[in-house]
Chain A
Amino acid sequence: MFSAFTHPALILIAGALLLPFIRGPLRRPYLFLVPLLAMGAVVANSALPGQHGLVNFLDWQLVFGRVDRLSTIFALIMGLMAIIGTLYGLHVDNAKEHMAAWFYVAGSLGTIYSGDYLSLFLFWEMMAFASTFLIWFRRGERSLAAGYRYLLIHTIGGIILLAGIMLRYQAVGDITFSLMDVKQPELYTWLIMIGFGLNAAIVPLHSWLPDAYSEASFNGSVFMCAFTTKTAVYTLARGFAGFDILVLLGVIMALYGVIYAVMENDIRKLLAWSIVSQVGYMVAGVGIGTEMAINGASAHAVAHILYKGLLFMGTGSVLYMTGKTKFTELGGLYKKMPATMIFTIVGCLSISGAPLFAAFVSKGMIVGAGFEAHLNWAAWLLMLGATGTFMYNGLKLPYFLFFGENNCTNETWAKAADPPWNMQMAMTAGASLCIIVGSVPAALYSLLPYPVNYHPYGGYHIAETLQILGFAAIAFFMLKKYLVPEDKLCLDMDWLYRKAGSWFLWIAKNPIQWFDTAWGEAYRVVGLGSLMTTARFWSWFDWHGIDGVVDGLARCVRAIGGRVRTLQSGQIQFTIYFAATFAAVVLVAYVFLQLS
């Protein structure tokens, strides 16, 4: 079907633009067809390694289609998630929401295929702006505010990235997007890394993620959990493999996300914190930078998109059916949402790295790469984080949501039920892929950027994992009274800028407003009064002084003109009379002056 390179972003953008005109019974088949075509293009492109879509623009060559193993594996999982996400929201009647989602995916795919910083930046910003609408489409003031914060933070990140790109162009003279010299980083290296890192939710630039993803629409968050952070992981893997600082930052993310997820009361915010933690593994893998680590980061990105999408679909179903997202307002839902429970538990086992489930075949690669690179401290801390992941996601989430104390009101309980068929279909697809990837990893490994020499189903790895999961579960049930969710808000780094915003508003409304009022009054009394007095003086001076002189001169000139006019009367006797008189006066004056 696609014999030459076809950019899947173009298919999605064209599909999004045509969507409002496709109505009635054709809408749903069309919604399914467009991401399917985009996925077809990605699959076809994978057989065309090289650079495509070359466009000369000013002095630069833009590369819209760089196809290699790294871009292909990320494009494939993004294309797959676009299909699953669209299927999940197939019944959503708001065409604008689908359009925003497709523009968002187009931005992600465009970034992944970009071979230069200019086209990358274009798609990068498309991703940020389109995803903002997925938050706003939930409607309500809280989502509106979260969307503005998200847009503001990503705009700042975009500016930092652009500054880095410009500085790099000034220093290097080209805009090719390739591996940086991470051993001798320049200012532009840091700026570009910060720009990418903000989208990867690197601590302390992460607060936008739990804030926005927990406020997005029920299917918007299914898209958002997949694309922004993993596209950023791709850019880091492409440009910053082996950058030491990323190991430390990744480990901090892995543990920071765990602690906040353990404290969290909102089920979707818990998953958002989980993204921070899981992306930490990928960032650490990129920082380690070996072939095994980059393979691990790529494999974990694929697994993560599958299980996190599934978990957001499960919790999104709870939100969609009950309208609630807090543990303290839910519980005991296995009786009303059994299918949702099974899908969610598959996601929980997958993220926990249980044998036969997705993360079992990916997370160990990153930890193993850490040990092999003699970064034992990092590998041990990542293992600690992996145990925490099982605690909050493998045990806390399903236990308190489906089995724990029933905190539902009668109204919530009455609403609770498994979601519509299309949402269950999407979850079936996600759950199946989690199990397939975990059980038959060879297919995934064949797509990784480098040759794979890793065997997850060795006896040691299985025994290690089962011991960790089993004894962490014992600890959970022994100490679960300390994990009972509380209806609290967990303060985070966003406290700084949210408080700064509040302080700014307070300062604007109080001291600055007071000063402005006082200044206006002072101006009215002192400034305006003195101005009016001065104006009145100058008016008087103008009237009596300037005008007096000017009018006097005018009267004088007019009088002289009257006299002179008589000279020009044409009567010769007057002319002779005045000439002779003037000559006599001159003569007498001359004689007088000579004699004296």
Chain B
Amino acid sequence: MNKLIDSLRERLPLVIKTCYGLLALVLAYSLTVDTSHAHTSVEKLPFFWSFFGFGAAAVIIGVARWFGHSGIMTRPDYYDRDAECTCTCSTTQKSSGEHA
């Protein structure tokens, strides 16, 4: 398995081109499917779900980035310091470093 992954990583441009080729096949296939199962008319536009997938992912990345850097993401010991300020017995641990 490791050798396969290493080999694919060494041939990254070829892997990327193969993925693009597969996506092109998917796009071609999407033009052939019966769209009568679509729930709304907008879904019947060619490649609609491709645009939706790309757009939705970009919007989510943008919103998460903006939200996180608007003050939601803070220092990792944020609550530990609070505990130190209020408790005399606040010897904190690093949970990530603790073995289960």
- A491 & B74 in contact (Cβ 8 Å cutoff): yes
Q: Mark B10-42, 1 if CB is under 8 A from A, else 0.
A: 000000000100110011011011110111100
- B97 & A324 in contact (Cβ 8 Å cutoff): yes
| Residue on B nearest A477 in the bound complex, by CB | B16
Q: Report the Cα distance A316→B75, complex, angstroms.
A: 24
Q: Report the Cα distance A544→B33, complex, angstroms.
A: 114
Say whether B92 faces chain A, with CB atoms less than 8 Å apart: yes
- A460 & B75 in contact (Cβ 8 Å cutoff): no
| Residue on A nearest B1 in the bound complex, by CB | A338
Q: Mark B40-57, 1 if CB is under 8 A from A, else 0.
A: 100100010111111011
Q: Report the Cα distance A378→B27, complex, angstroms.
A: 26
Give the chain A neighbours of B92 by CB distance below 8 A.
141-142
Q: Which of A325, A371, A388, A489 contacts B73 (CB 8 A)?
A: A489
- A323 & B99 in contact (Cβ 8 Å cutoff): yes
Whether A388 contacts B56 in the complex (CB less than 8 A), given A259-B64, A376-B40, comes out as: yes
| Number of A-B residue pairs at CB separation under 8 A | 190
Give the chain A neighbours of B61 by CB distance below 8 A.
262, 391, 475-476, 479, 482-483
Give the interface residue-count category, chain A: 35 or more
- A475 & B95 in contact (Cβ 8 Å cutoff): no
- B53 & A468 in contact (Cβ 8 Å cutoff): yes
Q: Which of A259, A460, A467, A505 contacts B67 (CB 8 A)?
A: A259
Q: Report the Cα distance A464→B39, complex, angstroms.
A: 12
- A379 & B39 in contact (Cβ 8 Å cutoff): yes
| Residue on A nearest B5 in the bound complex, by CB | A334
| Residue on A nearest B16 in the bound complex, by CB | A477
Give the chain A neighbours of B95 by CB distance below 8 A.
140, 142-143, 214-215, 325
- A383 & B5 in contact (Cβ 8 Å cutoff): no
- B26 & A470 in contact (Cβ 8 Å cutoff): yes
- A471 & B57 in contact (Cβ 8 Å cutoff): yes
Whole-angstrom distance from the CB of B93 to the nearest CB of chain A? 5
Say whether A384 faces chain B, with CB atoms less than 8 Å apart: yes
- A142 & B37 in contact (Cβ 8 Å cutoff): no
Whole-angstrom distance from the CB of B94 to the nearest CB of chain A? 8
Q: Mark A204-220, 1 if CB is under 8 A from B, else 0.
A: 00000000001101110
Give the chain B neighbours of A466 by CB distance below 8 A.
26, 29-30
With contacts A467-B27, A506-B86 known, what are 12 further pairs, Cβ within 8 A? Answer: A263-B64, A342-B1, A468-B52, A470-B22, A472-B54, A474-B54, A475-B58, A475-B61, A476-B61, A490-B72, A490-B73, A506-B85
Q: Report the Cα distance A341→B78, complex, angstroms.
A: 32
Q: Report the Cα distance A143→B98, complex, angstroms.
A: 10
Q: Report the Cα distance A371→B42, complex, angstroms.
A: 13
- A469 & B53 in contact (Cβ 8 Å cutoff): yes
Say whether A93 faces chain B, with CB atoms less than 8 Å apart: no
- B26 & A489 in contact (Cβ 8 Å cutoff): no
A interface with B by C-beta (< 8 Å) = 138-143, 145, 214-215, 217-219, 258-259, 262-263, 266, 316, 319-320, 323-326, 329, 334-335, 338, 341-342, 368, 371-372, 376, 379, 383-384, 387-388, 390-391, 403, 458-464, 466-476, 479, 482-483, 486-491, 498-499, 502, 505-506, 509
| Residue on A nearest B86 in the bound complex, by CB | A505
Q: Report the Cα distance A476→B49, complex, angstroms.
A: 16
Give the chain B neighbours of A472 by CB distance below 8 A.
53-54, 56-57
| Residue on A nearest B20 in the bound complex, by CB | A474
Q: What are 28 contact pairs spanning A and B, CB under 8 A?
A: A140-B98, A142-B95, A217-B100, A329-B96, A334-B1, A334-B2, A341-B1, A368-B39, A376-B39, A376-B40, A458-B37, A460-B37, A467-B26, A467-B30, A467-B49, A471-B23, A471-B49, A471-B53, A472-B53, A475-B53, A479-B61, A488-B75, A489-B75, A489-B76, A489-B77, A489-B79, A502-B85, A509-B86
- A371 & B87 in contact (Cβ 8 Å cutoff): no
Instruction: State the 6 A-B residue pairs at the shortest beta-carbon distance, nearest first.
Output: A371-B39, A475-B57, A468-B53, A218-B100, A471-B53, A387-B56
Whole-angstrom distance from the CB of B99 to the nearest CB of chain A? 4
- B76 & A463 in contact (Cβ 8 Å cutoff): no
- A383 & B37 in contact (Cβ 8 Å cutoff): no
Whole-angstrom distance from the CB of A168 to the nearest CB of chain B? 38
Whole-angstrom distance from the CB of B55 to the nearest CB of chain A? 8
Q: Report the Cα distance A259→B70, complex, angstroms.
A: 13
Whole-angstrom distance from the CB of A420 to the nearest CB of chain B? 13
- B23 & A470 in contact (Cβ 8 Å cutoff): yes
Whether A263 contacts B67 in the complex (CB less than 8 A), given A334-B2, A384-B60, A463-B33, comes out as: yes
Give the chain B neighbours of A483 by CB distance below 8 A.
61
Give the chain B neighbours of A482 by CB distance below 8 A.
61-62, 65
Whole-angstrom distance from the CB of B39 to the nearest CB of chain A? 4
Give the chain B neighbours of A506 by CB distance below 8 A.
85-86
Q: Which of A320, A470, A473, A489 contacts B100 (CB 8 A)?
A: A320
- B65 & A324 in contact (Cβ 8 Å cutoff): no
Whole-angstrom distance from the CB of A260 to the nearest CB of chain B? 8
Whole-angstrom distance from the CB of A496 to the nearest CB of chain B? 13
Whole-angstrom distance from the CB of A328 to the nearest CB of chain B? 9
